[in-house]
Amino acid sequence: MSDITTVNCPCCGKTVIWDKNSPFRPFCSKRCQLIDLGEWAAEEKRIPSQGDLSDSDGWSESDNPQ
């Protein structure tokens, strides 16, 4: 017996079958994939962080003598 895994497209909510025949998974189409990419690029979406520091904060060349 084969179990079919389905997910909802994160952009439009349409049901998508999760297998090798769904090249845009978890998206239903190239259009939804590009809409999502555009939202990340425009910084409309972001992953929450614990603080406002980045990896390079507090670093300077003078801190690293050679």
Q: Which residues fall in the annotated binding site for Zn(2+)?
A: 9, 12, 28, 32
Q: What is the DSSP letter of 5?
A: P
Cα 35 from Cα 27, distance rounded (Å): 10
For the chain, give the number of residues: 66
- Going by the annotation, the residues of the binding site are 9, 12, 28, 32
